[in-house]
Structure 1
């Protein structure tokens, strides 16, 4: 009897186990999480212009150092710094009293020599004396006249005039200062700043790129055909006038490894002057180039990566080679083709093979710069 009860209990337990397993098998599978939405866009081409920047120093197209031709004390400074002057205008007057005295003595020697010549002429004509004495007297007269002319010129040099039209720079000597032709510092500099030169340098590699991007058979044609350039002033503003690259040394400096170039800018309002500094911006135009927003990329082991939308909306990674960076865009050389769809933003949340729910975004919207809400 007891044996039958044990058998019955075992059979009941087995039935309950089988029933439990059956219920587990009939339990519905857990619902799969929906794919996350990400904005995507189809890659297209765009013509963009980038700028390469180079520091520059500015000078007027003419810079005339004003120096004394004779030694003397400055009696009067006739102009002020920054004043516009004309060619021939008096800038400085030197004290010439001692020179005037020298001129008087030289003039007296001329008169004495002239009297001697006048006295000897009739004597030679009457053959009283030889012509040699007259020739000697004439030579003394010529020398006296030359000395007088030299002293008179020195008196004229005491009035110092501008050699060019332009603007007066810093005046380095004032009334009472003793100046001479040997002074290392000029009295002032008069500059023609109706136009200004901007001098800058390129490395050998940059210079070769510059030439390859310019149209023309030789350097002269390439410079003539090159696009206008910008000048960014020291305060960060862009100068209103466009500039033109005029000349290049065409030779690499062995000490610096650079090539020097000169650009010219019109300066109608005299905003620019000698000694100004700034930055030259040389444009590079990329026509019908494939561009992608920088925010759609990330870096991995030194490579720039982008996520493309693959089959079944699963993302795949691709290494992109960058040709240039312009504002918030990358100009792509390889790694992305036209009609590829890329994830525009949120790439930090993605992994290769991850399925997404694509949200179509227009290309123009995708490449717009992201607004900065807060600035330091």
Structure 2
């Protein structure tokens, strides 16, 4: 009986050792990392369009034929520089007529004053009635009003004459000039004479989806949106050729409402443009940075995509593989930024996860 028990114990021991050796033989040595929280700068890109800080449509204020064009398309002009000259002959005549009318009105006023003086003297000597004096005074007031009217007409004529020389209101670049010398233009024309862009500073307009806006709004502290904008880091601009614009910009404004057609909200950033590299109509991509102080990064190589879900292989306390679904906040280079599904301290296989079976034992390298 003793020999039987001894053989049984020996057999059990051999079985346990064999099972342990079998588990060891079926375990895999793989690269394993322990997740931790780090401070990470995240970048979000948005398509953007560029506009000069000042874009002015140059339009005629009076009707007439273009007599001179002083500038070329694409030229840089200074404020006050002549751009176009409209035939001014009819406006010179209007000024001369207004001057003559004013002189006539002044003469009539002088004559009315003489009448008032005359009837004032006669009325004082009881030679004439007060009615005649009052009539003379009324005539004087009418003449005085006419003088003011003619002065206003002369001022208007001078203004119209001044409008025949069209000058640049700001410094900037001239756009296309669709009109030519001899073209008849007027203030009612739908088409502008040209467009003038002040691009010493430019605006970059881009749109945020409702999801991006809500995330943006929760990332920054502040009593209101204006207060939060003060805490937003400077943004950068990637140009159409993927080169980096050398100057950083600042978000200045977020529109007050979402576009019901696109479901997006408009945002404006301003950039200095001292070398005039950017022009109205340029496109690019705004790069918006954000520092996440408790970010957990997951290597893309450590993930597996299955039916629109992302999985990693997590190791439990027994080093057994557990396929775990995770939610991603963003992708940054070769890493995903974790939103949910894991926590700091969890261990995951860092690569070659496709062939790992659920429950298999992993030996960390």
Q: When the two structures are superposed, what TM-score results if normalisation uses the length of structure 2?
A: 0.78
1:183-262 counterparts in 2 under 5 A?
183-262=189-268
One of 79, 88, 94 as aligned partner of 1:96: 88
Cα distance per residue 1:16-63 (max 9 Å; x no partner): xxxxxxxxxxxxx9x998866543334344332222222222222222
Secondary structure of 1:92's partner? Answer: strand
The yes-or-no answer on 1:81 pairing with 2:87 is no
- Structure 1 residues 284 and 148: CA distance shift in structure 2, 3 A: closer
2:45 and 2:54 mapped to 1: Cα distance? 26
Q: Does 1:47 align with 2:53?
A: no
Partner of 1:297: 303
How far apart, in 2, do the equivalents of 1:289 and 1:120 lie?
90
* Contact persistence 2:26–2:361 (CA under 8 A): no
Change (3 A) 1:255 1:316: closer
Question: Helix, strand or coil for the counterpart of 1:98?
Answer: helix
- Could you give the per-residue CA deviations for residues 228-273 of structure 1, whole angstroms, max 9, x where no partner exists? 1122222222222111111223433444433222211111211112
Q: Which runs of 5+ in 2 are unaligned?
A: 1-17, 123-131
What residue number does 2:101 align with? Answer: 109
| Distance change in 2, residues 1:149/1:316 (3 Å) | closer
Q: Render the CA deviation track for 1:184-231: whole Å, top value 9, x for unaligned.
A: 222223222121112222222221111100122221210001111122
Q: Secondary structure at the match of 2:156?
A: helix
- TM-score normalised by L of structure 1: 0.76
**Contact residue 49 and residue 326 of structure 1 kept, 8 A:** no
- Asked if 1:321 is matched to 2:319, the reply is no
Residue 174 of structure 1 aligns to a residue in which SS? coil
Aligned partner of 2:339 in structure 1 is: 333
Aligned to 2:354, the other structure's residue is in SS state helix
> Offset at 1:309?
4.7
Unaligned runs of 5+ residues in structure 1 are 1-28, 360-376
Residue 340 of structure 1: how far off its partner (Å):
4.2
User: Is the 1:215–1:226 Cα contact (8 Å) retained in structure 2?
Assistant: no
How many corresponding residue pairs? 330
Tell me the distance in 2 between the aligned counterparts of 1:288 and 1:122.
93
Map of 1:351-370 to 2, 5 A cutoff? Answer: 351-354=357-360, 358-359=364-365
